[in-house]
């Protein structure tokens, strides 16, 4: 594609004299190839402008920047390269989301499980699916590792382009609040937007709960403002107070789900059943019993959100329920570790006060003896939730153990000091996470339950500038076998 053709997607831009062929768009100088348009993005750690000359040496045909640069290739100056990047990527890849049924999921907790449930439903309906989320990306049956819950706009549009080429029918993606504020999903043409819940998290970035809520609301504004044959739907949790404001902030058709308040899709008669959960599902078409292979009230909310999203996407209710009932757990989400022991070990990604409370309350429903809760808090993240996490662990478990999560650049002991401010009663502090897991498993007796919270599916631990191999599930299994 010629540079001038590409730049026509941005209004009022000054065209350079030269008009080279653009073969790719990149924002990482290591990915530059002959014919690349290199976009200088200023991040928290690196400033892409400092790599512009190296990008040209590596073959970049043009540079997009926020200031003038003295280089021997066209330099296009814009006010905001991140914003321009989303526009250019969408245009370069042929507006791929216009050719996909795109479902976006935002909220503090439940995004990953909800996305996997929706994927299962569409697969049951024999649709080809694409998935973008915390654990991985999938295009059909191909799996790709991810670094962020929501990649930047260049990666996103490239992935969507690949999905279109692979004949994907529906793309399901988790949408983080960071991605919404930073414009990573600009250019994505959503058909269905789902809200799971809003509880405290990421206040190190958003500063207040209202700013955090406003960040989430951006997804629903992206559903557009027209009412044509391509209906857009906002699927909202009626039991969460934030939904009332989202209803005002979106022009899309609104569909609600919930347990406590009247909703379009409701669950009642909830019961714990043989390692799963059953409920009576009420829908616009009538009622039917649903039995999940997933535990807990929080997973009923995830199921209801998935059912509502699939229903407005045109999938028959019978197929939806059939798929939901078949679906097993998601890696690192209430995942059991079984090494033949006579007590339970559960690994869960719970890393917010609300998610930890939900998991521990669910465990309390079937716990017969002691509950060990191994809990940590991430470094360089919202410090105000640390005492809350400790308070919840002490309240809902018999044997809380405070340990490290991903301390990153912070002193692990300082993080634990913050946690201790919310602790009550008896508890242990074991900063070494592997030792904390081994201590709980060595101490547990028949019928006890050991919860290892915070990291879930993660296979690493970040300490300082180093990333170490670390998988709670493997550490736990090894400790079980050593007993």
Mean pLDDT computed over 262-272? 96
User: What is the share, in percent, of the chain residues with pLDDT greater than 90?
Assistant: 87
Buried-exposed string 340-358: b where 16+ CB fall within 10 A, e elsewhere: ebebbbbbbbbbbbbbbbb
Higher-pLDDT residue of 163, 273: 163
Are 37 and 103 in a shared domain? no
- Residue 44 above 80 pLDDT? no
Residue 369 has pLDDT above 90, yes or no: yes
Q: What is the pLDDT of residue 201?
A: 65
The CATH number of whichever domain residue 59 belongs to comes to 3.40.1390.10
**Residues 101, 87 share a domain:** no
If asked whether residues 77 and 102 sit together in one domain, one would say no
Domain that holds residue 197: 96-326
Q: Is the pLDDT of residue 107 over 80?
A: yes
Whether residue 130 sits in one domain with residue 64: no
- Segment 181-198 mean pLDDT: 95
User: Looking at the structure, do residues 349 and 279 belong to the same domain, yes or no?
Assistant: no
* pLDDT (average), residues 150-171: 95
Same domain, 297 and 346: no
| Kind plus residue range of the DSSP H or E element containing 115 | helix 111-124
pLDDT score of 252 more than 80:
yes
In the chain, the number of structural domains is 3
pTM: 0.90
Out of 38-42, 196-200, 257-261, which region has the weakest mean confidence (pLDDT)?
Answer: 196-200
Give pLDDT, residue 214.
Answer: 87
The pLDDT of 226-244, averaged and rounded, is 94
* 118: CATH: 3.40.1190.10
Confidence band (pLDDT; 50, 70, 90) for 212? confident
Q: What is the mean pLDDT of residues 244-269?
A: 96
pLDDT averaged over the chain? 94
Residue 287, SS3 per DSSP: strand
Closest by Cα among 438, 463, 464, 462 to 452: 438
Looking at the fold, whether 113 and 223 belong to one and the same domain comes out as yes
Residue 141 shares a structural domain with residue 286: yes
Residue 213 binned pLDDT confidence (cut-offs 50, 70, 90): confident
CATH number at residue 399: 3.90.190.20
Enter the tokens of residue 297: 């009230």
Is the pLDDT score of 274 beyond 90?
no
User: Do 28 and 125 share a structural domain?
Assistant: no
Residue 65 has a pLDDT of: 97
CA 310 to chain centre: 19
Which of the residue ranges 46-55, 199-208, 280-289 would you say has the lowest mean pLDDT? 199-208
Quickly state the pLDDT bin for 203 (edges 50, 70, 90).
low
Choosing from 26, 57, 92, the residue where a domain stops is 92
pLDDT of residue 308: 98
374-404: per-residue pLDDT in tens? 999 999 999 999 999 999 999 999 999 999 9
The predicted model gives 76-98 an average pLDDT of 97
Q: Please measure the distance between the N-terminal and C-terminal CA atoms of the chain and give it in whole angstroms.
A: 63
pLDDT at 205: 66
Tell which of 326, 358, 387 closes a domain.
326
CA atoms within 13 A on the CB side of 26: 22
Q: Flag whether pLDDT at 211 surpasses 70.
A: yes
pLDDT tier for residue 441 given thresholds of 50, 70 and 90: very high
- The CB-based long-range contact list for 287-294 (8 Å cut-off, 24+ gap) reads 288/317, 288/321, 290/321, 290/324, 290/325, 291/325, 292/324, 292/325, 292/327, 293/325, 293/326, 293/327, 293/328, 293/329, 294/113, 294/327, 294/328, 294/329, 294/334
**Residues 71 and 139 placed together within one structural domain of the fold:** no
pLDDT score of 46:
85
pLDDT band per the 50, 70, 90 thresholds, residue 145: confident
- 92, 107, 124 — which closes off a domain? 92
Same domain for 73 and 160, yes or no, is no
DSSP H or E stretch at residue 396: helix 386-396
What single string gives the DSSP state of each residue in 315-326?
Answer: --HHHHHHHHHH
Are 299 and 340 part of one and the same domain?
Answer: no
């Amino acid at each position: 594609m010629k540079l001038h053709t590409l730049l026509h997607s941005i209004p009022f831009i000054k065209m350079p004299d030269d008009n080279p062929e653009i073969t790719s768009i990149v924002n990482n100088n290591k990915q530059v190839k002959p014919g690349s348009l290199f976009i200088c993005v200023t991040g928290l750690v690196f400033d892409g402008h400092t790599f512009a000359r190296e990008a040209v040496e590596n073959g970049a045909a043009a540079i997009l920047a926020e200031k003038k640069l003295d280089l021997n290739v066209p330099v296009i100056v814009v006010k905001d390269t991140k914003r321009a990047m989303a526009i250019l990527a969408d245009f370069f890849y042929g507006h791929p989301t216009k050719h996909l049924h795109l479902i976006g999921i935002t909220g503090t907790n439940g995004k990953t499980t909800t996305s996997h449930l929706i994927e299962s439903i569409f697969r049951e309906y024999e649709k080809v699916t694409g998935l973008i989320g915390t654990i991985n990306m999938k295009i059909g049956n191909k799996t790709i590792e991810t670094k962020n819950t929501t990649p930047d706009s260049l990666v996103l549009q490239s992935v969507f382009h690949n999905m279109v080429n692979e004949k994907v029918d529906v793309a399901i993606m988790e949408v983080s609040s960071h991605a919404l504020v930073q414009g990573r999903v600009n250019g994505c043409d959503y058909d269905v937007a789902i809200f799971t819940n809003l509880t405290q998290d990421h206040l190190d970035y958003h500063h207040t709960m209202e700013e955090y809520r406003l960040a989430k609301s951006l997804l629903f504004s992206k559903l557009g403002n027209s009412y044509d044959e391509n209906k857009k739907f906002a699927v909202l949790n009626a039991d969460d107070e934030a939904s009332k404001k989202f209803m005002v902030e979106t022009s899309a058709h609104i569909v609600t789900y919930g347990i406590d308040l009247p909703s379009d899709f409701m669950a009642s008669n909830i019961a714990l059943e043989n390692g799963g959960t059953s409920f009576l599902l009420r829908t616009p078409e009538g009622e039917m019993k649903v039995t999940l292979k997933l535990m807990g009230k929080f997973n009923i909310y995830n199921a209801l959100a998935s059912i509502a999203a699939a229903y407005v996407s045109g999938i028959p209710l019978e197929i939806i329920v059939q798929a939901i009932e078949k679906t097993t757990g998601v890696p690192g989400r209430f995942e059991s570790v079984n090494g033949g022991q006579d007590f339970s070990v559960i690994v869960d990604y719970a890393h917010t006060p609300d998610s930890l409370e939900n998991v521990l309350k669910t465990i309390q429903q079937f716990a017969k003896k002691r509950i060990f809760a191994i809990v940590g808090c991430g470094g360089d993240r919202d410090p105000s939730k640390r005492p809350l996490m400790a308070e919840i662990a002490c309240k809902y478990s018999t044997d809380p153990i405070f340990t490290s999560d991903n301390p990153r650049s912070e002193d692990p002991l300082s993080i634990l000091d913050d946690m201790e401010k919310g602790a009550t009663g008896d508890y242990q502090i074991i900063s070494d996470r592997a030792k904390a897991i081994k201590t709980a498993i060595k101490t547990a007796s028949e019928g006890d339950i050991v919860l290892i919270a915070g990291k879930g599916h993660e296979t690493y631990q970040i300490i300082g500038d180093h990333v170490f191999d670390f998988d709670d599930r493997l550490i736990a299994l090894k400790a079980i076998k050593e007993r």
